Amino acid sequence: MAEVKFLNIVKQFEDENKGKVFAVKDASFTVKDKEFLVFVGPSGCGKTTSLRMVAGLERQTSGDIYIGDRLVNKVHPKDRDIAMVFQDYALYPHMTIRENLGFGLKNLKTPKAEIEAKIKEAASILSIENLLDRKPRELSGGQRQRIAVGRAIVRNPSVFLFDEPLSNLDAKLRVQMRVELSELHKRLEATIIYVTHDQVEAMTLGQRIVVMNAGEIQQIATPEELYEKPNNLFVAGFIGSPPMNFVKARLEGNQLHTASYTFTLPDDKVKMYKKYDGQEVIFGIRPEDILSTKLMPSVPDKNVYQVNLKVVEHLGAELLIYFDIGDDQLTGRVNADAKLKQLEPTELYFNLNKMQLFDPKTQERIY
Ligand code: ATP
């Protein structure tokens, strides 16, 4: 069993200028055995520190960390049965790939034949057999990344830790490596904890995702749950690209009044939001839930408005459209077949079946 458990983990740093900084504030969660769990959040939110605490490279200020059934607070990194893949790969430049792969095992005094067998197996899994006699400088970024993963695989750890391993690769290679890492997880059946600031990477790789902000866990959920039921404004704005639109509004019965438009709520939403009747709320609608009526079989009788498109960006299959309602700038993502043009008025349908409301004081989602 390779569960990883955080119990009331706090990590404080002493910063010369800012004094005490909370990198992680009271985090408790369990990474399940064989789970692919991703930490995501903006720079400085505490995700790398969390990973380094699992590895034992950083010691928590308080709280307990378990790997499997073992309390590892005082266990040395090399005895934690983990392997970490770093952003810069950390390969030894003067060694061949074969030597790089075998280095950790050699240090553990593993018999030579066993080291060779493990290198061969990892090389086959990662299709790097033909690179074993080269030096790291003779490899491309993607190949180096594979070697860094290979070095973790040969150690056969219970838990793999990845710290932004794809951030030095170009966009195309990142997508390819993402697929490879997903396949590798299935094949290795290992527990993986993966850190990234890229929400697309998090959504595509993670079975569950931990969203962090300013040292605090905002939500732990599957990609679908994060998208459909974000806990608060932060998660709603962080997950999804382009981000969800937010507009100040007031709820009156089945009507949602913004400064410029009045939207009509579907019946189930009226019931759902009843306790906020008459109150100020924040209305959230994702760009993909704003549709061009040009592509609809019939124009709905509610929540259709004329807008002027300030900017239209072509993404190939889709268009990103930017327009104002009152003082608020909104973004829509519509099918390119709508052939919408910049500076032209166009009719849009706001699909309120997919809307969210948030409490402006607590910033929590209303449900
Ligand atoms: P990034 O994506 O930029 O790596 P992160 O989410 O991984 O960010 P951490 O590196 O975990 O964030 O840092 C969390 C907070 O702790 C930040 O405010 C950072 O400045 C602070 N911090 C991290 N390491 C140290 C350190 N050794 N000394 C002082 N403060 C630190």
pLDDT of res. 1: 66
Q: Which two tokens stand for residue 302?
A: 């509610």
Closest CA to 151 of 205, 216, 93, 104: 104
Distance of CA 279 to the CA centre of its chain: 33
The predicted pLDDT at position 90 comes to: 83
Cβ 53 under 6 angstroms from ligand 1:
no
Residue 126 vs residues 123, 129, 149, 219, 290: alpha-carbon distances, Å: 5, 8, 8, 33, 43
pLDDT computed for residue 124 by the predictor: 87
Assess: ipTM above 0.90.
yes
Domain ranges for the chain: 4-238, 245-358
Q: Which atom of ligand 1 is nearest to the CA of 215?
A: 14
Instruction: Kindly give the parts of the chain with pLDDT less than 50.
Output: none
Quote the CA–CA distance of 108 and 155 in Å, as a whole number: 10
The two tokens of residue 148 are 């860094």
pLDDT single digits (tens) 8-45: 999 999 888 888 899 999 999 999 999 999 999 999 99
Strand partners, 195: 39, 163
Task: State the pTM of this model.
Answer: 0.91
pLDDT score of 16? 86
Through-space distance between the first and last CA atoms of the chain, rounded to whole angstroms: 37
**CA–CA distance from 84 to each of 64, 149, 198, 328 (Å)?**
20, 9, 19, 44
Distance (Å, whole) CA 97 – CA 131:
7
With a 6 Å cutoff on the Cβ, whether 46 touches ligand 1 is yes
- Name the token pair of 121: 């197996």
CATH number, domain 4-238: 3.40.50.300
Residue bearing the CA closest to ligand 1, atom 20: 44
The closest-lying atom of ligand 1 relative to the alpha carbon of residue 11 is 16
Rounded distance from Cα 22 to ligand 1 centre (Å): 9
**Cα(239)–Cα(42) distance, rounded to whole angstroms?**
11
- Per-residue pLDDT, 95: 93
Per DSSP, helices labelled H in 63-157 are 97-107, 112-126, 141-153
Q: What is residue 164's three-state secondary structure?
A: coil
How far apart CA 365 and CA 367 sit, in angstroms, is 6
42: cis peptide before it, omega within 30°?
A: no
As a whole number of angstroms, the distance between CA 100 and CA 134 comes to: 10
Q: How far apart are CA 69 and CA 3, in angstroms?
A: 8
The rounded Å distance from CA 230 to ligand 1 centre is 25
Helix (H) or strand (E) holding 7: strand 4-15
Residue whose CA is closest, atom 1 of ligand 1? 43
Q: Is domain 245-358 annotated with CATH 3.40.50.740?
A: no
Alpha-helical runs (H) found in 34-84: 47-55
Q: Which ligand 1 atom minimizes the distance to the CA of 49?
A: 11
DSSP state of 243: P
